Amino acid sequence: MSAAFGDPNLVANAGLEPVMRLAARGWLSELVRETVRIDGADNSAGANPAAKVTSLIAAMCAGADSIEDADRLRHGAMPQLFGQIRAPSTLGTFLRSFTHGHALQLHAVHRRFLGELAARTPLLPDAGQIAFIDIDSTHKRVFGPAKQGAQVGRFKLAEVVLGRIPDPRL
C-alpha cells in the first residue's frame, strides 16, 4: 500500500528543502561532479552523477529505503521545488555500475563535504580550528586481503580542519 501526491500544487516531504539547501551550501553537487567518475559503463550510468547522488540523498532523507521509494520525489510539485530529480530506474542503473573504487570516490566526497559544511555553516559553534567527527566506527569481519574493499585497520576519527581536511589518502 502506498500514497502518492498527484496534485501539482502539493509538496510532500517539504522538509527536504532546507536539508537540500544545506547540501548546496556545502557544495555537495560540485564535489560529486569533481570527484565521481564512472567511465566505461555500457549505458548512461556515468552521466551526471551529481544529480543522481543528490536524488539518492534526498530520497533517503524523505524516508526511502529502496530504489522504488525514490519515486516519491517525483510526485506533486516536487519537480518544481527540486531540479534534476532522477527516476528510480535511472538511480538503480547508476548504483549497479558502482565498483569499490566508485565507493571510495563517494567516500572522498563525504570527507570533503563535511569540511565544506563545517566551514560554511555555524553547526559547530566555538569549534575553533579543529573539530573531531566520528564518521564510521563500524567493525566487520573481512575474509582476506583479496576481498574487494578489504582494508587493514580502521579509520574512526576524521580530523576536520575548517576549510580543508588533511588526509594522506586524498
pLDDT tens digit sequence for 52-71: 999 999 889 888 888 898 88
Determine if the pTM surpasses 0.85: no
Which of 126, 122, 43 shows the shortest CA–CA distance to 90?
43
Record the cell numbers describing residue 5, joined without a space.
501526491
**18 pLDDT exceeds 60?**
yes
Q: Is 156 helix (H, G, I), strand (E, B) or coil?
A: coil
23 has a pLDDT exceeding 80: yes
Instruction: Tell me the Cα Rg of the chain.
Output: 18
The pLDDT confidence band at residue 8, using thresholds 50, 70 and 90, is low
The whole-number average pLDDT for the span 143-170 is 48
Residue 167 has pLDDT above 50, yes or no: no
